[in-house]
Amino acid sequence: MRGFGLVLLLAISGAASAADAPWGLAPLMAQLHAVKHASAHFTERKYAAMLTQPIESTGTLSYTAPGSLEKRTLTPKPESIALNDDQLTGTQANGDPFQVRLSDHPEIGALVEGVRSTMAGDLATLGRYYAIALEGEPGDWHLSLTPLDRAVRDKVDLIRIDGAGTQLRRIQVHEHDGDRSEMIVTPDTP
């Protein structure tokens, strides 16, 4: 299992934001912090130099604040990943279970925090791991996260999260070796 791929597990959010709130990073994080539960469907594409076409997978995501996330891949093969606080557990496509404590793997933890801290609206934690740049407006925003830690930068150059209001719509991970992944997120409607 590739550590930086785990960051894609954390890709959902929902609920409308207040239209009259001032725009910027702190207000966006406050709006995201207000989301307590969300679910979505995803389509993920992984692009690698050694592949002639991307690998595509689909499935579902669920989030419960502040740190419980689950990604269930349905196609091409069933697998699952669940994150609860510091514990990452799941079942690989071959049926083998796995369990990882993020505190035992700081690089994986930093990558996971890129999206988890965004979803939780935890600007302080996000700032410990990343240089943060926000562009756009409330209805179409783009968050660029550049890893501060050298070991993480050796794996990932940039995480880009695109959203509208409190809904994450796309997460891209640009790896240091030129490979990349993109997850398109479609929030479930209540």
pLDDT value, residue 20:
53
Residue 10 has pLDDT above 70, yes or no: no
Residue 51 has pLDDT above 70, yes or no: yes
Q: What is the DSSP letter of 52?
A: S
Domain boundaries, the chain: 3-187
Distance of CA 70 to the CA centre of its chain: 11
Say if residues 61 and 12 touch (Cβ distance below 8 Å): yes
Tell which wins on pLDDT, 131 or 188: 131
The Cα–Cα gap between 187 and 167 comes to: 7
pLDDT value, residue 11:
42
CATH classification (class only), 3-187: mainly beta
> Encoding tokens for residue 46?
């992984």
Strand ranges for the chain from DSSP E: 37-47, 55-64, 68-75, 79-84, 87-91, 97-101, 130-137, 140-147, 156-164, 167-175, 180-187
